[in-house]
């Protein structure tokens, strides 16, 4: 397996040394690659500087994690064309090259990749996202149709299902509980379990009861919520 280069900050060295004590360098590389892909799941494509194996120059392109590798947006930029040629990657003839075509790259084709991670979560206006999420959840309540964290994230423009969507739901949940309404975040469920996340059970005081009883209370809460008068637009 070809050697890969992974760049880390000085402050991360203790973590790297600990990882190296538990696995070989290649295993650490694979672990970090997988972690990066999982972190980016749910985000829109981000930019990265990529150095292909066999190429003399790196190029910058949009990337997105894909099964077993990366999807790279193809363009007509000279540095990308040259890198592809030097790496002996042959593109199909008449292939669109206006950033609307994606090429799958396997990990062994990439020497290194600098990924430009999305902006800090702290700079995002989650209240605005919560306002946009409100009518979506109200409609789902009366239709009695749940949606997953990932689905809500996509409807809000590509928010990360586990890092960003919960922060949106916190705002909605707080308003509901403070104003005598049922917890509207009940309509957002885990793709795996089909049930709300841990925070929902904790905030409603149902974290320590058996799952069967949790489900019963959750369904009953939805029926009670339907009887309430819900604002069509976010009240915050």
Q: Give me the residue spans of the domains in the chain.
A: 10-115, 121-226
pLDDT for residue 3 is more than 50: no
- For residue 66, the number of C-alpha atoms closer than 13 Å in the C-beta half-sphere is 15
Mean predicted lDDT score pLDDT of the chain: 80
Quick one: tokens of 95?
A: 């292939």
Measured distance CA(202)–CA(147) in Å, rounded: 20
Q: What percent of the chain has pLDDT over 70?
A: 74
Model confidence pLDDT, tens digit, residues 91-100: 766 665 554 5
Reference 196, options 141, 159, 121; nearest CA is 141
pLDDT at 36: 58
Q: pTM of the entire structure? A: 0.52
Model confidence pLDDT, tens digit, residues 163-180: 889 989 999 999 999 999
Other beta carbons within 10 angstroms of residue 57's beta carbon come to 12
């Amino acid at each position: 397996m070809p050697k890969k280069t992974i760049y880390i900050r000085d402050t991360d060295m203790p973590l790297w040394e600990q990882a190296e004590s538990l696995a070989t360098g290649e295993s650490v590389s694979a672990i970090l690659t997988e972690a990066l892909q999982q972190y980016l799941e749910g985000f829109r494509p981000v930019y990265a500087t990529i150095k292909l194996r066999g190429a003399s120059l790196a190029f910058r392109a949009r990337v997105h994690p894909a099964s077993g590798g990366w999807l790279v947006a193809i363009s007509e930029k000279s540095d990308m064309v040259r890198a592809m040629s030097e790496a002996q990657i042959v593109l199909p003839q008449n292939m669109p090259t206006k950033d609307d075509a994606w090429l799958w790259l396997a990990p062994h084709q990439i020497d290194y990749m600098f990924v430009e991670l999305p902006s800090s979560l702290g700079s995002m206006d989650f209240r605005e996202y919560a306002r946009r999420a409100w009518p979506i959840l109200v409609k789902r309540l009366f239709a009695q149709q749940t949606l997953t964290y990932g689905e809500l994230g996509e409807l809000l423009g590509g928010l990360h299902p586990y890092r960003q969507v919960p922060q949106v739901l916190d705002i909605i949940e707080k308003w509901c509980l403070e104003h005598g309404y049922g917890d509207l975040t009940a309509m957002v469920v885990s793709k795996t379990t089909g049930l709300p996340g841990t925070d929902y059970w904790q905030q409603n005081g149902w974290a320590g009861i058996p799952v069967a009883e949790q489900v019963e209370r959750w369904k009953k809460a939805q029926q009670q919520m339907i009887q309430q008068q819900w604002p069509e637009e976010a009240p915050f």
